Structure formats: C-alpha cells, structure tokens
Amino acid sequence: MSSTSEPLGLAAGPELAEGWRKDAKVVSLIAAVHFVSHVHIMLLPPIFGQVREAFGVSYTDIALALTAFNVASALLQTPAGFLVDRIGPRAMLTAGLLVGAVAIALAALLPDYWAFIIAYALLGVANTVYHPADYSILSATIDGKRIGKAFSIHTFAGYAGSGVTPAFVIGCAAIWGWHGAFLAAAVLSFAAAMLLVVAGHVLPKATRKPAVTARKTEHKVGLDLLLSAPILRNLFFFLCLAMANGGIQTYTVVSQQALHGTPAAISNVALSGFLLMSALGVLLGGIVADRTPHHERVAAVGFAFTSTMAILMGWFALPGIVLIIVMSIGGLLNGMIQPSRDMMVRAVTPPGSFGKVFGFVSTGFNLGGMIAPLSYGWLMDHDRPQTIYAIVVAFILLALVTAVTRHKPQGSTAWTR
C-alpha cells in the first residue's frame, strides 16, 4: 500500500506548487494593470494648477475634464461588463490600455481646451474595462482559498498606483512640463498593454459559465440582478466612497493652500502618504478580513478616523509634519476596509456574472466622480474650500452607516467567504 500512496503524495506537491505559481502570475498581471489604471485616475490632480494656467481657465473648467472622464465611465462601464462576460476579459483589458495610451497622448499633444476635455472622455471609455475585467479574471481563475488575498493585492496595486503618481507626475513635469508628464503616462499604459500581449497567456480569453442543473434555481443575470437591493446597496456604498475620496485626492493640495497657506510640496507629500499608506492598509485589511467576521467594526474604526482626519484638515492649520502624519494614518485605516468591500460584492454575485456586477457597482465611483470634481471646483472658485471637507465628512458617515447596517449573506459566518 505504501508503494502506491507515495507517488500520489509526491504528485500532489508539484500540482499544488503549480497552482500557486499560476495564481501568482495571474494576480501579478492584474495588479500591474490596476496600478496603471490608477495612474490614469491620479494623473491630473497633482498638476491641476499647472494645467489650469496653461489653458487660462477656472478650476471648474479643468474639473470638467474629470467629469467627462466619469460620465463616459458611468455610461459605458456596465455595458463593458456585459462585453467582458461575453467576449472575454483579456482582450478587453488590452484594448482598454491601448485606448488609454492614445487618450493621454492626445490630451498632451492637442493644444485646444475642448480637445483636452474630449481626450479625457476617451480616457473614461478606456477606464470602463478595468474593474469588470479584473474581478472577472480573479473570480474565475484564483483558488477560492486565496481569493480574498488576491482581491487585497489587486486593490493594493491600485492604491500604490495612486500613491506614486503625484511624485511621478511632479518629477516628470519638472523636467518636461505637464505635457511630458502626460506622455510618460501614455508610454506606461502602452507598456502594460504589451505586457498582456506577451505574458497574458495565463489569463482566460473568456470566462467559463458554470453548468446549471435542471433542479437548481437559475440565477438572475440581467437587469433584475443589477437592480436587486444588495447590488444597489453596494452601488450607493461606492458612490459615497467616491464623493469622499474625490475631495481628499483631487483637492487636498489646492484646498490646503487656500485654507492654511500650506505649500504645494508639503500637501503633495501628505497626499502621497495618504495614498501609499492606504495601499499598505489594504494588505493589512486582507489579513484582518480573513480573521474576523466583524467587518462592520473594522469599517467603523477606519471611517471614524478618516472623518476625524478631514475635520482636522478643514478646520485646523496643521504643521507640515503633522499634516503628513495625520493623512498617512487616515490612509492606513481607510485602506484596511477595502478588501471587505470587494468580498461583499462577490458574496451577492452569481457565478458567470462577475463582469457585469462589478462593472455596475463600480459605476458608483464614476457617479461620484461626475459630481465631486465640479461641485468641489465650484466651491474652490467661490473661496469656500472648507465646505469641501464638510461634504467629505458627510459622505464618510453615510458610507459608515451603509456598511454597518448591511445584511450578511446566509449560511456563512462571514461575508468574506
């Protein structure tokens, strides 16, 4: 008996190792793409003032570019999710990166203000593919025992992309001007597309839909699913996060200068601290999410400190080092709640529908992105930067209420399973 069992044991080891290696390759590729997508999102805020001066327009006018980006994403992200489920996420991701590269290059090279706005709308079209395709690939290919960590690494990569972009953009702009900074981002997007072409064979060309037995109740996969209460609740949660983060990520530099005379260099360091520590918080949050069913408590702590951070920034002139520390701690705790966000969506999504569901709920980010830039830009133009922080606090509290009053899925001790 031992002679027959030993080969089976030896065979299990290589198979397990191969599974780990394949998952690692998939997660690495998707993380790289998500990193680049967040470079796109954070490309404009660090040089908001430079671009505004270059076109000779107001904050509201430049904010229209971000609104155009989010309008395009909001309108097309759910259809993109259906396309991901139909024609496959790999092709959609590659196309999105190439379209993004073209859009950023056009924004840099065309001298007209309205051409800049149209280019940003095209960048918004490119943005529609990332969440539907990323989550569809991860949900379809990663071992269920590792899916939570895969989601946390994916989110970490996005935050890391956001975190390094201010330094990347400011450094490039110092050498080549803001046009050069945009072109450098376009090259990065093209390089990521080529990476998928060369190494993307480990990604599925199309997602496999599970067979449904005759005795099983078929899942709702159309509008009934997207308009169900759990999905709409997640959509609203994403909207609240977008409204809150839109104020912090886009207007920290200019609002702190207007309120307290904080130099832009210090505010940019503080903003990078917020984003980079958010990335670290995401990784810690993945560990926490695997160890506790009480995610509402994690959310309560994270949102409580983030709202406190916004209050301190809006109503107190913090010394530079204090501002950096406060925003870094706020980012860490804010990041810790993010892995549970993704698992909450996955818990109410039927197999084979990850693209359309994640595309739909991620539209909440775009809806917030449509409203936040123009609203906050209008407040800046009318010398009311403090009101930005009041609105940020209000939406953080709404997100907190949405998270802590949710219903957990039946049958599991935690909705991270």
Q: What average pLDDT does the structure give for the chain?
A: 81
Q: Residue 115: its pLDDT value, please? A: 93
Q: Residue 290: its pLDDT value, please? A: 66
- Cβ neighbours of residue 60 closer than 8 Å, sequence gap 6 or more: 374, 377, 378, 380, 381
What percent of the chain shows pLDDT beyond 90? 27
Q: pLDDT class for 1, splitting at 50, 70, 90? A: very low
pLDDT tens-digit map of 175-203 = 999 999 999 999 999 999 999 888 877 77
What distance in Å separates the CA atoms of residue 271 and residue 253, rounded to the nearest whole number? 8
What distance in Å separates the CA atoms of residue 226 and residue 217, rounded to the nearest whole number? 18
pLDDT tens-digit map of 131-170 = 888 888 887 777 766 776 787 888 889 878 887 888 889 8
What percent of the chain shows pLDDT beyond 70? 82
Say yes or no to pLDDT of 106 above 80.
Answer: yes
Rounded mean pLDDT of 377-397? Answer: 92
pLDDT tens-digit map of 343-368 = 667 666 776 676 677 778 878 877 88
Q: Residue 11: its pLDDT value, please? A: 47
Q: pLDDT class for 219, splitting at 50, 70, 90? A: very low
Say yes or no to pLDDT of 50 above 60.
Answer: yes
Rounded mean pLDDT of 59-88? Answer: 84
- Number of Cβ within a 10 Å radius of residue 398: 18
Say yes or no to pLDDT of 404 above 50.
Answer: yes
Say yes or no to pLDDT of 47 above 60.
Answer: yes
Mean pLDDT is lowest, of 100-109, 308-317, 337-346, for 337-346
Q: Residue 10: its pLDDT value, please? A: 46
As given in the structure block, the two tokens for residue 156 are 């970490």
Rounded mean pLDDT of 236-248? Answer: 87
Q: Residue 408: its pLDDT value, please? A: 57
Q: Residue 205: its pLDDT value, please? A: 66
Q: Residue 37: its pLDDT value, please? A: 93
As given in the structure block, the two tokens for residue 300 are 């309560």
Say yes or no to pLDDT of 229 above 90.
Answer: no
By CB neighbour count within 10 A (0-12 exposed, 13-18 middle, 19+ buried), where does 144 fall?
Answer: exposed
